[in-house]
A and B are shown apart, each in its own frame.
Chain A
Amino acid sequence: MMLERWRRRLRYWRHSGEHARLLREEMELHLEMKTRELMEDGMAEQDARHAARRQFGNPTARQEESRETWIARWLADLLQDATLAARTIRKQPGFATLAVLSAALGIGACSLVFSVVNHALFRTLPVDQPSRLMSVSGSDLRAARNNLSMAYPDFADLRQAASFQGLTAYFAFMPGGISGGAEPQRYWGTIATANYFDVIRPPFAAGHGFDATRDDRQGESPVVVLSFPLWQSRFRGDRAIVGQTIELNGRKVTVVGVTGPGFRGVESMFLADFWVPFSMLDSLAEVGMGGERLTDRGSQWLSAAGRLREGASVSSAAAELDVIGKRLSAAWPTTNRDRGFYVERAGQLNPGIRRMIVGFFALLLAVSVLVLCSACANVANLLLARASARQKEIATRLAIGAGRGRLVRQLLTESVMLALMGGVAGYAIALAGVAAIGRVRIPLSLPIDFSVTLDYRVTLFSIALAALTGVIFGLAPALRATRPNLTGALKDERVSIGPWRRFGLRNILVAAQVAICMVLLVCSGLFLRSLQSAGNIDTGMAHRNVLMMAFDPSLNRYSPAETKRLVDAILADAAVIPGVESASLTTSAPLNLEGTQNGFTAGDRKTPMIANVYSISPGFFETFGIRMIAGEDFRPGIPADDIAIVNQALADKAFAGQNPIGKTISYLGRTVRIVAMAATTKSRTIGEDPRPCLYFPIARELRGNDSLTGITLAVRTRGNPAGYATAVRQTIGKIDPALAVFDVRTMDAQIAKALFIPRVSAALFGLAGLMGLLISTVGIYGVISFSVARQTKDIGIRVALGARRAQVLGMVLRQGLTLTFAGCAIGMLVALALSRATASLLYGVSPTDTLTFAAVPAALITIAAIACLVPARRAAKLDPIRALRCE
């Protein structure tokens, strides 16, 4: 009945304008019929019209009255309910605070997680008309892969596409050393076609973008656009910088503009610090990324973005690019076979990362929802407790004729109001959380974006969640409260005196809370244990006392010969710093998530295997404390042959454990002879299985170094390695003051970073578990206190009849602990089932870890016992005379 009315109301609201017009028509018809009838009775038309009008009354007023039928009554009721609810809430500030706090924690956690997912899935770029800006990438039709890079000639052919007003191509991974002003530092920039800013149209904080008519041309005086943060941090936000020249990779470039604060390029997670036009391409070649970049169709290195022309859509653009792709495949079969193009809204995360983020956060969302459920159970319990305290009031109102639906609605208004207040507080929690996430730096040296913003979707989500929460935790208590035993309640009888009602709704809720809390705490316990065992893991290295820092000579336009001289000088000078036991160079530090991986084939096998590839100087194994199992380290100088050192894991995998020395492998078309075998170390992550590693002499690689992370200098020190940072830095500075030194860290710090994932997981689950613990402690305390209060008379009688204090204490404690035990048992079963799912994230700890599964219930039961003890002691101290008189 009520539902039907709502349906009709909604229909009315959707078409309220039309409804009013039709009602008007209906009334007009009435007037007209009346007029005609009166005329048939012989009245003149004018008089008849007036008479009809008179008898009808004021049509506008009637129309207004009709509208009110649909709307105003309901609004008035709501207003009345809200006022009453606000009054009730104000009268019980303690209850309201607990309820709001519980809801806020739950809603806050959910909103925070949602805001991250929201950011990952729906974010828009801060550019003019972001929905018209498309990202265009290459695709492999056979492997069904998108988001591939494209070659410049292909891009040039794409420019004829009629679907776009403009197309720009860019390369987002250009390192740029900026010196002058402060200490030289390495940044990441985008090198783009000169129409980049005309197509993307970001906001500018100062100056403007490239000049599309000239900045493309080789030999034009070079220009740069700075990002807002770079401008702020390096040039202190000085407007006068526009028009001046700065030194970028050892070359003078003119600053023409600074982009607005939010704009860091169109790549979804990779932040640009600066932008330079294609006229700087030769500078890219100087940083080791040379080649026939503009003419070679086989060299795929560009990303592209285009702005849709008026009337074009994503699908029409895709269709057009399809045609162009087919034509190119036919014309250039060697390079373009099976290659096409892919269009999507710019700024989207690539699908792999999106899946990963969504998967991880789905897990987190599940955890937050558990916390929220626990919070809901608490508030529902508080409401139930209060409802039974209000039984008399409600019974009175029912008795004098209040409708049950009206009462339920009123009670619901109250709980929804509480939940909405909780929602506001929860939103504030999410806001704080987002700020905290924004400060998180993922342990990679590339500037990857994790800043999240709250937008209207998050706000809507919070509000909807709060409203839903209010209804969920309010409905059961409201329904129950309005179904009392009228006569009993009016006489102020309390229904459940004496024996504990075993399966009351409130008890079930508390047991559920304990179970949820148990699950969360077990998960966090498992992650903590995982962290603990990961900290004790053998990395295969003597990782104490190692200091590392990176530099990139290619940024300072070093030729290969100069680079050779530079690294020799650095290595020689670093080795003689007092306290330094050993110094060496590598293109990639161990336990660095960015390390290079490449395929190789061993002997006459056909299928390639993947190895982590390091280019190292002699002394690497000594510096990092890696045991050499067979053969000898590289010797100083450029080796005459192609040689490599392998680790044990590679030997086991590629040569079935035979001694690999003297054997050859094929790597990037070269035949490489193995000269030594080192012990296996952890190469990328702490938790990995043994990975094959290949070590090449760095002296050979310096000629064509394409590492993005530069060259890392590592030193083994006596005593605390962090204390040597300044000395080593100064040593490099003395050799070339313009050389940017970055990523200064000890190996221990690097290992700590490698534990990032277990640490974050443990922290998140731990946080959720603590919230759950807090909430369920409040829940247990509330239920037991309330039950003691209700049994005052009963306890009084027992004491009067000779029950000892200890017996009373025991009775109350037993009630609380029975609930806790039940919750723990259920929680244990669920946790056992769930922990199997987290097994892949755990390291060095079984998903049924005994310690965790023993410690968590023990802790939970202890805390529950303490929560029960307070009301139990109150019960035990009852003065029987007072207790019997009470009420």
Chain B
Amino acid sequence: MGKNDLLPGTLDMMVLKTLTRGTMHGYAIAQLLKQLSEDVLQVEEGSLYPALQRLELNGWIEGEWGVSANNRRARMYKLTPSGRKMLASEVERYQQMTGAIARVMGMA
């Protein structure tokens, strides 16, 4: 499964959404995405990492080296205030978009 299977920008949005649950490392984010989508969204897990870099560059999340649940050194990500704002506007945009798509599909 390639990363292009998702709508553009949605992976970033979903990562941001996941992080509203708290600070977590890359693997945990991937796991959570999989669980929440009930295995429907099978993102190639590696593509999570460029997305994390992108979000970090924009200042929407912050990564810090910490210790994972099973006592391993892991990079823990958390949402920044500007990330939270970004998420809100992304969600709005997303809802408009899906609403529009749904209306088009409903009419056809």
From B44, B53, B65, contact of A56 by CB (8 A): B44
**Distance of A820 Cα from B75 Cα, bound (Å):** 64
Q: Which of A64-72, A582-590, A629-637 forms contacts with chain B?
A: A64-72
Would A57 and B47 be within 8 Å (CB), given that A26-B75, A29-B27 are in contact? yes
The verdict on A239 contacting chain B, using a C-beta distance below 8 Å, is: no
Stretch at the interface among A4-12, A618-626, A661-669: A4-12
Q: Which 9 A-B pairs have the closest CB atoms?
A: A57-B46, A62-B46, A65-B50, A57-B44, A66-B53, A30-B27, A33-B27, A69-B53, A56-B46
Q: How far is the CB of B3 from chain A (nearest CB, A)?
A: 8
A65 to B46, CA, bound (A): 10
- Closest residue of A by beta carbon distance from B44: A57
Contacts of A22 in B (CB 8 A): 65, 75
B53 touches A70 (CB 8 A): yes
**Per-position 1/0 for B3-19, Cβ under 8 A of A:** 00000000000000000
Is A26 a contact partner of B74 (Cβ separation < 8 A)?
A: yes
A319 within 8 A of B: no
Closest residue of chain B to A70, judged by CB? B57
* Contact partners of B25 in chain A: CB under 8 A: 26, 29
A61 and B25 CA atoms in complex are apart in Å by 20
Residues of B within 8 A of A498 (CB): none
A4 to B81, CA, bound (A): 14
A27 interfacial by beta-carbon distance below 8 Å: yes
Determine if B91 is an interface residue (Cβ-Cβ < 8 Å).
Answer: no
Which chain B residues numbered 44 to 87 have a C-beta less than 8 Å away from chain A? 44-47, 49-50, 53-54, 56-59, 65, 68, 72-75
Contact among B27, B46, B56, B59 for A61, CB-based, below 8 A? B46
In the assembled complex, B30 has its CB within 8 A of some CB on chain A: yes
A residues 39-64 touching B (CB-CB < 8 Å): 55-59, 61-63
- Whether B59 pairs with A4 at a CB distance below 8 angstroms is yes
- Chain B residue contacts of A25, Cβ below 8 A: 73
Quick check: is A144 within 8 A (CB to CB) of the other chain? no
Interface residues of B: mostly helix, strand, loop or mixed? helix
B75 and A30 within 8 A (CB):
no
Task: Give, as a whole number of angstroms, the nearest-CB distance from B101 to chain A.
Answer: 22
A34 within 8 A of B: yes
A68 cross-chain contacts in B, Cβ below 8 A: 50
Residues 1-43 of B contacting A (Cβ, < 8 Å)? 25-27, 30
Q: Does A440 contact B (CB under 8 A)?
A: no
Q: Which of A167-208 contact B (CB under 8 A)?
A: none
* Bound complex: CA A59 to CA B49 (Å): 9
Per-residue contact bits, chain A 738-766, to B (CB 8 Å; 1 contact, 0 not): 00000000000000000000000000000
Which chain B residues border A34 with CB–CB below 8 Å? 27, 45
Chain A residues closer than 8 Å to B27, beta-carbon distance = 29-30, 33-34
Residues of A within 8 A of B26 (CB): 26-27, 29-30
Bound: A25/B72 CA distance, A: 11
Distance A23 CA – B25 CA, assembled complex (angstroms): 12
A4 to B47, CA, bound (A): 25
A29 with B72: CB separation less than 8 A: yes
| Bound-complex Cα distance A57 to B49 (A) | 11
A1 CB within 8 Å of chain B: yes
Residues of chain B contacted by A27 (CB below 8 angstroms): 26, 46, 49
Total inter-chain residue pairs, C-beta < 8 Å: 66
- A26 CA to B56 CA, complexed, in Å: 15
Give Cα A22 to B25, complex, Å: 13
Known: A27-B46, A34-B45, A58-B46. 16 other contacts (CB 8 A): A5-B57, A12-B57, A22-B65, A22-B75, A26-B74, A27-B26, A55-B44, A56-B45, A56-B46, A57-B45, A59-B46, A62-B50, A66-B49, A66-B50, A69-B53, A69-B54
The 0/1 profile, CB within 8 Å of B marked 1, for residues 58-99 of chain A is: 110111011011100000000000000000000000000000
Q: When chains A and B are docked, how far (Å) is the Cα of A734 from the Cα of B13?
A: 102
Q: What A residues does B45 contact at CB under 8 A?
A: 30, 34, 55-57
Q: Residues of A contacting B49 with CB < 8 Å?
A: 23, 26-27, 62-63, 66
Closest residue of A by beta carbon distance from B56: A8
Interface digits, A200-223 against B, CB 8 Å rule (1 contact, 0 not)? 000000000000000000000000
**Can you name 22 A-B pairs with beta carbons within 8 Å?**
A8-B56, A22-B75, A26-B49, A27-B26, A27-B46, A27-B49, A29-B26, A30-B30, A56-B46, A57-B45, A58-B46, A61-B46, A62-B46, A62-B47, A62-B49, A63-B49, A66-B49, A69-B50, A69-B53, A69-B54, A69-B57, A70-B57
Please indicate the chain A residues that have their CB under 8 angstroms from the CB of B46 in the complex.
27, 56-59, 61-62
| A-side contacts of B50, CB under 8 Å | 62, 65-66, 68-69
> Shortest Cβ distance from B24 into chain A, in angstroms?
12
CB distance from B25 to the nearest CB of A (A): 8
Could you tell me if A29 and B74 are in contact, using CB atoms closer than 8 angstroms? yes
**Which of A12, A55, A58 gathers most chain B CB within 10 Å?**
A55
CA distance A439 to B1 in the complex (A): 74
B59 CB contacts on chain A under 8 angstroms = 1, 4-5, 8
Bound complex: CA A319 to CA B56 (Å): 53
Which one of B25, B46, B56 has the greatest number of beta carbons of chain A within 10 Å?
Answer: B46
Interface residues of B in 82-105 (CB under 8 A from A): none
Segment 14-38 of A: residues with Cβ below 8 Å from B: 22-23, 25-27, 29-30, 33-34
Give the shortest distance, in Å, between B77 (CB) and chain A (any CB): 10
Complexed CA–CA distance, A70 and B54 (Å) = 8
CA of A66 to CA of B53 in the docked complex: distance in angstroms?
Answer: 6
A13 to B102, CA, bound (A): 44
Interface string of A140-177 (1 = CB under 8 A from B): 00000000000000000000000000000000000000
Tell me which residues across on chain A come within 8 A of B72, comparing CB atoms.
Answer: 29
Chain A residues in 8 Å Cβ range of B65? 22
Cβ-closest chain A residue relative to B63: A26
Contacts of A56 in B (CB 8 A): 44-46
Q: Which chain A residues border B47 with CB–CB below 8 Å?
A: 57, 62, 65
Closest Cβ neighbor of B59 among chain A residues = A4
Which residues of chain B are near A70, meaning CB under 8 Å? 53, 57
Residues of A within 8 A of B54 (CB): 69
Interchain CA distance A357-B56 in the complex, whole Å: 51
Considering the chains assembled together, what is the distance between the CA atoms of A683 and B57 in angstroms? 72
What is the CA–CA distance of A55 and B33 in the complex, to the nearest angstrom?
A: 14
A55 proximity list for chain B (CB < 8 A): 44-45
Interface centre among A33, A58, A70 (most CB of B within 10 A): A33
